[in-house]
Amino acid sequence: MIAILQRTSLALSVLLLPPPTLAELSRLGDEALSGISGQGGIYLSGDISINEMGGPVENSYFGRCDDADKKCGARFAYRLKENGGWMVLDDIRGNFAFEGLTLRVRKVDSGFGGDGELFNRDVLELGLPNTVRFNDVQFKISASSTARPTDPGFQQTDIFSVDMRGEVVMEGNLLVFPAGNP
């Protein structure tokens, strides 16, 4: 009797399973693609390491990360005025990871205290990831006389240093407004 019940329950469970289905990916032609708007945007995830072990240049300024007298990280210098000084993110190194950074184009035609209606153009919208994980991320914010430390007359003043470990919760969007005429 038990054997009959086991066979019956097995037969019923097999009958209740959905039948296998087949699907295939196929190419979309230009006409079919023209009907797709792409408004979903792009979803990005990343795990980025910057100069964890030091840079390739070793001279009087740059060197290995285990040498306390040398700089070993990446450098990003920018200048806001043509003849002004340089603001620098210097000695950038470490690792950070994120999931869920979105990128899309959005039309701004309202809001912003009435300025959106006057603007009436597309902007780039960066949807900030929910959580960013930092592992030994370090950098210095500095003022410099030149873009590169190898340029003549180089002088730099470190304003403050940043050292980050852990997770940061980010919410919201960053809008990038275009300037000038395309």
Q: What separation in angstroms does the CA of 60 have from each of 63, 65, 141?
A: 8, 14, 21
Sign of CA dihedral 60, 61, 64, 65: positive
Q: What is the reported pTM?
A: 0.53
Angstrom distance (rounded) from CA 175 to CA 172? 10
Environment class of 116 (CB within 10 Å of its CB; exposed 0-12, middle 13-18, buried 19+): middle
Residue 57: what pLDDT? 56
For the stretch 157-172, pLDDT in tens is 999 999 999 998 888 8
Secondary structure in 3-state letters for 91-154 = EEEEEEEEEEEEEEEEEECCCHHHHHHHHCEEEEEEECCCEEEEEEEEEEEEEECCCCCCCCCC
* Domain residue limits, the chain: 42-170
Would you say residue 16 has pLDDT above 90?
no
Angstrom distance (rounded) from CA 97 to CA 27? 34
